[in-house]
Amino acid sequence: EMMTEKASAVSHHSKISLNPHHPLYNEINQLVDNHLTRMDEKTEGGKDTWQVIAEEGDLKVYKRELEVNGVVIDPLKASYVVKGITGHEVCHYFWSIDVRMDWDATLESSVCTDWLAEDTFVSHNVIKRVWPASQRDALFWSHLRHVTGSNDEDPDRWIVVNYSTEDPKIPNKYVRVTMNVAMICETIIDPPADGNISRDDIKCKISYTAEVNPGGWAPASVLRAVYKREYPKFLKRFTSYVKDTVKDKPIMF
Ligand code: 18C
């Protein structure tokens, strides 16, 4: 359904390449704005209903158990601090479909079905089969955005949103998974005395959230076990991939 632009009192300064007349324009702005606002709320503390499912140094993965008609749709969130990389780099590689198969071990294939703008495209992704469930696929738009902060409380951030969409051209061969995923990053710079910023002086604060509906019945215990194993694995694998890829490249601020 179409969302009004008025609802997203755009407090987050940003630039979008997608044409304002594109049918997804309002939806994308709304999703980006909601994710940034929700993240801001989270940092304000308050009561926490999230349970930790993995904790390893600076990596923390949380979930909230939620079942609708017997289908597990546990919302998941993670925070991670990774040295030597920037938020722009993390989001660039998370968004870029050219490298997705290099780090996403849960996918069997990933194909761009619609290029919308230099910051937005739609892709069809076939997920590896997990026994005993039927094979799943996902069709979603991916949008990359730089959000410049206006003051100290509103820091400079990069964000990628992957959000399910529909396309009658894509045949329905699998069980369709739907999702709302966001990767939000902030770069922390420890200014060196000599003023030359190297990779030793930077780190990236990552906040990742995933709301996935498996699209049909899947055994809850298997699904929860797969999530518990796969999300931390993904975050470690993906960030090592980024570290490794950029280590000899100039820092992309
Ligand atoms: O965010 C991630 N990836 C993005 C794309 O690169 C995108 C996410 C897309 C897909 C998420 C799909 C989740 C599917 C869940 C339903 C599966 C049902 C299986 C039933 C089991 C009983 O935003 C990173 C996503 C990291 C996701 C980790 C958890 C997903 C587990 C899904 C199963 C994966 C198969 C495992 C194969 C093992 C590989 C050695």
The angle at the Cα of 82, spanning 230 to 192, to the nearest 5 degrees, equals 175
Q: Report the DSSP beta bridge partners of residue 121.
A: 115, 142
Query: 129 is written with which tokens?
Result: 């089969």
Q: What percent of the chain has pLDDT over 70?
A: 92
Q: Which atom of ligand 1 is least distant from the CA of 215?
A: 16
pLDDT at 235 over 80: yes
- The pocket around ligand 1, CB under 6 angstroms, is made up of 100, 104-106, 125, 127-128, 130, 133, 136, 138, 162, 177, 179, 181, 212, 214, 218-219, 222-223, 226-227, 230-231, 234
Q: Above 60 in pLDDT, residue 238?
A: yes
Q: Give residue 127 CA to ligand 1 midpoint distance, Å.
A: 6
pLDDT at position 142 is 98
pLDDT on residue 1: 35
Q: Is residue 133 over pLDDT 70? A: yes
Per-residue confidence (pLDDT) for residue 8, from 0 to 100? 41
Q: How far apart are the CA of 20 and the centre of ligand 1, in A?
A: 31
pLDDT over 70 (residue 77): yes
Q: Which atom of ligand 1 is nearest to the CA of 234?
A: 26
Beta carbons within 8 Å of 155's beta carbon, 6+ residues apart: 149, 186
Lowest mean pLDDT among 32-46, 96-110, 202-216: 32-46
In this model, does residue 7 exceed pLDDT 70? no
Residue 13 CA to ligand 1 center (angstroms) comes to 31
Structure ipTM: 0.92
Q: What was the pLDDT predicted at 199?
A: 97
- Given a cut of 60, is residue 43 above it in pLDDT? no
Angle, nearest 10°, between helix axes 220-246 and 87-95? 120
Residues contacting 241, CB < 8 A, separation 6+: 93, 99, 102, 103
Residue-averaged pLDDT of the chain? 91
pLDDT of residue 154: 75
Residue written as token pair 């069980």: 175
Decide if pLDDT at 47 tops 80: no
- Chain Cα centroid distance, residue 176: 19
- 2: confidence class by pLDDT, cuts 50, 70, 90: very low
User: CATH: 3.30.530.20, 3.30.70.1230, 3.20.20.70, 3.40.50.620. Which one for 17-246?
Assistant: 3.30.530.20
